[in-house]
Structures are given as structure tokens and as C-alpha cells.
Structure 1
Amino acid sequence: MLYDHFADLELRVDEYDLEQHERDTSSGFTRTTTVVSLHGDGETGQGEDVTYDNEAHYTLDDSPEEFPVTGEYTLDEFSDQLSEVDLFLGNEPNQSIFRNYRRWAFESAALDLALKQAGTDLADRLDREYSPVRFVVSTRLQDPPTGDRIRDWLDRNPDLEFKLDPTSDWTAEVVDRLADTDSVRALDLKGQYHGTTVDQPADPDLYERVVEGFPDALVEDPELNDDTRPLFDGHEERVTWDYPIRSVETVEDLPWEPEWLNIKPSRFGSVESLLDTIDYCRENDIGMFGGGQFELDVGREHIHAVASLFYPDAPNDVAPKEYNAPEPSSGLPSSPLSPPTSSQGLEWK
């Protein structure tokens, strides 16, 4: 099992600090994240909290309370210790999944630190080599949707591929225009989100336009009901899941055995849960691709490292963070991303 390669890694944490990052995004909101740095034995391990609540980051930054994370552990012991810590300081997060996001920041920082203190990196610990990472660019269309943003990106780099978020105001003409580019590899229906700023209610007309208009693309997170479920008859192998996927148990609870899953490390909370789920997918021939969370710092490197080792050739939604800027620009890295010539810990520069 993959986790067995890491559970007994030793780490020493002498102190930690937190640093906020903030940036406007192509999806029209200001992204705030917090980088967790664990220091010990002359090394620093880092992780990134991708909680989608800016106030929760500000509260964390302003709090004088210290989390009880210093000491000497194995990685498994550190994870057990962390499971007993209220990382939201007595405040209930807006969504329960945010607890996983913040826990992942500390767990990934601990894994990064433990690997560095052992003088190794993620690939070496698994006796693997990093591979080039194919990526797609995830973006929303402008309002009203026309497809001009995609054309703008393709004018700058005609080899780009995309993952898009359809909305009910996508007309048949918009779908045709996008399909004609032959660059759309995945479409996220956002049907599993409820009570968020990106909710897209189940819309049978939209679902039909997407399923029929992009016959070779993956379709992510539909909401299945009496009106929408029949639209996926014969297309089940194209459906992939993202928001519900947080453990092996959540994979087993899906409406049918999937062909594809979106693996976002932060959703899992713990290193063990992430690696156990990757093990499960490999054992059951489930395709995987990486997903991003608008990371602004080291979190983006970490998802590149994981994708590089386990699903480098998939349509990974892990484009370098510059692609999340509000407007397209030129001179950005092209897909696939070259692996690092040297690395340590979870770094993938």
C-alpha cells in the first residue's frame, strides 16, 4: 500500500508559522489562501490551506492561539495528533469540507518536512520517477458567454486544452463554437455543489447540450434526478466525479462504478486517505486526473508532484497558477510541464 512508504517517516516540528496570499482570479472572485510552514531540524515543510472563505483565513491570521503541533513524531503519529486539533479555533466553517482543506495544509506540510528531514522526495520514497504533466486550463466564460475567452487563449497557444464550467445560459451556438475548437476535454456541471457561489442547478436542457455537443469530453459532477439521469444512459463511462470524492468510501457510494475520478488532495484531508484512494483506483482500473483549487503557492507544486507520479498523461486540471489570472496572457508554460531536474520533499519546481 502506498501509505506504508510514508507512515513511519520521522519528523521533528520545533515551530510553525502562517502566511496569507491573495489574488484576483479568472472566475471573478478574490482568492485567499494560507501557507502553513513547519520548521524543524534546519528544514521547512510547507502546505497550503485552500479553504474558500476569506474570513476564515483572516480569523486564523489574527488568532493568538497556538496549535499543539510541535514535537517529535512519525508521520502517522502526527496525523493522529492533528485529528484531535480544532483547526478552526471553535468556529464552525461554512462548509464541513473546509476542515479537510485546512487539515491537508498541515498534513502536506508535515509530509514535506519529513521527506526533507530524511533527505528524500516523494518520487524517491516510492521508487518512481517524475513524468511530464499534461494539463488543461480551467476557466469560466465571460458574461454573457460567447467563447471569446477560449479563442483568446488559443490565439496565444493553439495547443491548449480546457476544462470548462457550463451554465444554463450556454446556448446551442456557444456549444457549437466551443466544440469546433476541438480543445475541450472536460466539462464541470457543478451539480454536486449546494450553497456555494458556483452552484449550477440540474438543468436537463443544458445537460443534453453538453453531453451531445462534446461527445468525447468527460462530464463532471452532474446532479442526477428523474429528469437528468436518463440523459447519461450509454454515457456513464464519460461521467467523472469531483466534489463527493474524499475517501475510498465516497467512491464506493457513487451511483455506479466510475471510469474516471478527479483527485484533489485537499479534499481528502489526510495523506493516508489520499493514498488509500489512489490505491483503490489503481486496483479497480479507475482513471484519475488531478484537480486544482486555485492554489496560490506551494499547493500547486504539490498537486503537480502527485499528478506526475500517478496520472501524468490525464487531462489534469492543474495548469500553472498564472492561468488563473483574470485575463489571458502570453508566454506561459506549455503542456506538458517538464519535471524538476532536482527536488526535495513535496517540491516540484
Structure 2
Amino acid sequence: MDRRGELMFERLASLPLEIEGYTLERLTGGERVTTLLRLQGRGEEGFGEDLLQMPGEADPIEVPADLPLAGSWTLESFLDALGGMNQWVEEPPEEWGDFAARLRNWVFESAALDLALRQAGVPLAAALGRDEPRPVTFVNSFGLGDPPALDRLRATIELYPTVGFKLDAAPTWTREVIAALAETGMVRTVDFKGHYGLEIEGDIAPVYEAVVELLPEALIEDPHEGVDGLPLERVSFDAPITRVQDIGDTRTINVKPSRIGSLRRLLEIYAWCEERGVAMYGGGMGELGPARRQIQLLAGLFHPDGPNDVAPPPFNLPDPAPGLPSSPLDVSGPPPGFRLK
């Protein structure tokens, strides 16, 4: 582990952790379903959220209800013990590889961190020896549909003129569509999803060319392999990033704690990027409850000014609603735990 990341982890490792049991419950939002883990001990609860829902399925992959979590631990000893536990009722699809294992492991690690800090009466910032979290710049992330339409984007701008956008690129984007996006001045990131193994139906090369030319301030996230001529300072990576070794000479990365799946590796990535000036922004995986507030807190501590894809969950509904928090998001004064007030 990078020494600075190791030092951050050492500040948390010896936290006492008393676990008496845990409960599970469903969270729903639109077509999305997640599972909330409540880890209990000494009159406190620690929250984690399982995000493993199969595409097209109404229910997530089950979290076991009988894992041997109860006992007296330190945070470090509990995280070590997790590696030897079977965290599945049924094994996830083989093609998911270790992606599913990392997401599932983060459910327990994030809940354990929250509970240990709650029992110690300490907020995460203080435990890490960092300044209070700063207001978080966030973006609204979605696709434009087929055929692409800007109605939702324009309606959101009307209600929330400071909220930028992270948009999923598609071969159906014409030069005229991209020019219309440029006119809004609000596109912060264009996600090509080039590392998800998805088949492309159509020619996406003209989309790259137009995005580079017409959206000169926008990051180009996860470009496909073999695409030449992209400005290196504008390229960012998300899907390939699970550990420090994945960063290479990339100048900007999307940090997704649930994809990384490990508190140790997460802190190492933060430290490595801060040491070397690699720009960071945060990303979500469809969180509906506490996990979304946890990544908002991490953004406030480590990369508040990036185009963080951590918008409050109602922004992900098909139609924008009035009365939501705007960007930058106030994350000041968090209570004890791995959470926001």
C-alpha cells in the first residue's frame, strides 16, 4: 500500500467494532431496487447498501442473512475476516468476474466503517485527520434516448441552472445534437462506456470527432480502445479503475468506492492521486439510500470540485422535480460515522 494511504488506513484500523447482529431491507426508487444492510451493536447502526441488481430483473442478488458477523473486533480484523466469508446465497453470473465480489464486499466494509465510527463518536473526516468536507459540485447523469432528445436536459437546466451533466454517448448522436449540447454550456463529461464490453450498433467515430471539437471543456470518459487523437488531458477512466496499478499515466479518474470494493484500496487510490496530481471525481452505481450520501461525503473530503456523478437520487427519475438540492451540495457538519446529517 502507498505509504500515505497506509497512514490513512492505520488511523481507522484499530477502531473497536462491536457487532451484535444485522438486518436487511429493500429500497426502491423507480425501476431500481437495492438492499440496505443495518449492522447493529452497542445501540448504534452502521449502514451499507448492496447494489447488485441484474439487468432487467426486479430484485437484487440476495445478501445472506446468517453470516457470522457478531463479535468483538477491530475494524481491521473485521475487514480481514470478511475475506474468508461466503457472501452469497447464490453465486453471481460467472461473466461478472470479481466485479460482483467487490460490490458485495463494499456493502459490509462501508457498514462496518460507519458502525465503528458511530461507536467511537467520531466523524470520518476527524478520524482521517482531514479538514471538514467542502461543498460538492455534482452532475446529473443519463442518456439522451433513441432518437436523442434534449427535453429532459433542458427541463433540468430550467430548474437547476448550476447542475452540469454527464451524458452517455451513442452512435445516434449527430453533429447537430452535439452542437445543441454545446449551446447549453452545461456538459461536463461524455461517457463512451468503452470498457463495459458493450457492442456498438453504428459508427461512433464521428461522435468522438464532434465531441472533441464542439465540447472542448468536457471530459471523455472510458473511450474505446483504438480511438486515436483524443487530447490526453481530457480523457478519464472509470470502469478499469479498481486499484492504484490500474491508473497508469491517466490524468483523471472516476473513483467509485463500490467498484473498488475495499477501504484499503480506496484510501490508497486517494493518496496516490493526491501525491501525483491526478484529478479525481466521484461516481455512483445507482445508490438509493445511505450509500449515495457516503459517496457524497467522500467527494466532499477528496474531490469536491470535480464533476462528481453523485447527484441526489431523485435526479435519476425520468422527469426533474422541483425542490431538490442544487450544486454545489452542502455536506458540512457531518455527524459521527460514515454518513451525512
Q: Same fold (TM over 0.5)?
A: yes
Q: For residue 52 of structure 2, what is the aligned residue in structure 1?
A: 51
Per-residue displacement from partner, 1:224-265 (whole Å, max 9, x unpaired)?
Answer: 12xx1x231xx011100001111112223xxxx111110011
Shift of residue 18, structure 1, vs aligned partner: 0.9
Identify if the C-alpha distance between structure 1 residues 200 and 84 changes in structure 2 by more than 3 Å, giving closer, same or farther: farther
Alignment of 1:237-256 (within 5 A): 237-252=233-248
Query: Aligned pair count?
Result: 331
- On the 8 A contact 2:189/2:220 being kept in 1, the answer is yes
Q: For residue 173 of structure 1, what is the aligned residue in structure 2?
A: 176
Identify if the C-alpha distance between structure 1 residues 86 and 138 changes in structure 2 by more than 3 Å, giving closer, same or farther: same
**SS of structure 2 residue aligned to 1:17:** strand
Q: 2:23 aligns with which of 17, 23, 26?
A: 17
Q: For residue 229 of structure 2, what is the aligned residue in structure 1?
A: 231
User: Quick one: distance in 2 between partners of 1:4 and 1:200?
Assistant: 48
Per-residue displacement from partner, 1:184-219 (whole Å, max 9, x unpaired)?
Answer: 0111101111259xx788832222122222111111
| Equivalent AA in structure 2 for residue 207 of structure 1 | Y
| Equivalent AA in structure 1 for residue 68 of structure 2 | P
| Equivalent AA in structure 2 for residue 83 of structure 1 | G
User: Quick one: distance in 1 between partners of 2:126 and 2:16?
Assistant: 16
Alignment of 1:134-283 (within 5 A): 134-194=137-197, 203-225=204-226, 228=227, 230-232=228-230, 235-252=231-248, 257-283=249-275
User: Quick one: distance in 2 between partners of 1:340 and 1:208?
Assistant: 41
Identify if the C-alpha distance between structure 1 residues 43 and 193 changes in structure 2 by more than 3 Å, giving closer, same or farther: same
**SS of structure 1 residue aligned to 2:229:** helix
Shift of residue 90, structure 1, vs aligned partner: 4.6
Q: 2:305 aligns with which of 310, 313, 330?
A: 313
| Equivalent AA in structure 1 for residue 44 of structure 2 | E
**SS of structure 2 residue aligned to 1:289:** strand
| Equivalent AA in structure 2 for residue 84 of structure 1 | G
User: Quick one: distance in 2 between partners of 1:212 and 1:297?
Assistant: 38
| Equivalent AA in structure 2 for residue 269 of structure 1 | G
Q: For residue 294 of structure 2, what is the aligned residue in structure 1?
A: 302
- On the 8 A contact 1:34/1:57 being kept in 2, the answer is no
| Equivalent AA in structure 2 for residue 194 of structure 1 | G
| Equivalent AA in structure 1 for residue 285 of structure 2 | Q
User: Quick one: distance in 2 between partners of 1:92 and 1:338?
Assistant: 37
User: Quick one: distance in 1 between partners of 2:82 and 2:62?
Assistant: 16
**SS of structure 2 residue aligned to 1:277:** helix
Q: TM-score, normalised by structure 1?
A: 0.90
Alignment of 1:85-124 (within 5 A): 85-93=85-93, 95-96=96-97, 97-124=99-126
Q: 2:279 aligns with which of 287, 299, 304?
A: 287
Provide the identity percentage.
41
154-163 vs 199-208, which moves further: 199-208
Q: For residue 4 of structure 2, what is the aligned residue in structure 1?
A: none
- On the 8 A contact 1:18/1:35 being kept in 2, the answer is yes
- On the 8 A contact 2:244/2:272 being kept in 1, the answer is yes
- On the 8 A contact 2:53/2:61 being kept in 1, the answer is no
Instruction: Confirm whether residue 344 of structure 1 aligns to residue 336 of structure 2.
Output: yes
RMSD: 1.9
Shift of residue 50, structure 1, vs aligned partner: 1.4
**SS of structure 2 residue aligned to 1:91:** coil
User: Quick one: distance in 2 between partners of 1:57 and 1:73?
Assistant: 32
Structure 2, unpaired ranges of 5+: 1-6
Shift of residue 58, structure 1, vs aligned partner: 4.8
Q: TM-score, normalised by structure 2?
A: 0.92
User: Quick one: distance in 2 between partners of 1:122 and 1:202?
Assistant: 46
- On the 8 A contact 1:191/1:200 being kept in 2, the answer is no
Shift of residue 303, structure 1, vs aligned partner: 0.3
- On the 8 A contact 1:11/1:72 being kept in 2, the answer is yes
Shift of residue 53, structure 1, vs aligned partner: 1.8
- On the 8 A contact 1:38/1:113 being kept in 2, the answer is yes
Per-residue displacement from partner, 1:137-165 (whole Å, max 9, x unpaired)?
Answer: 11111331122221111122222211111
Q: For residue 69 of structure 2, what is the aligned residue in structure 1?
A: 69
User: Quick one: distance in 2 between partners of 1:33 and 1:273?
Assistant: 24
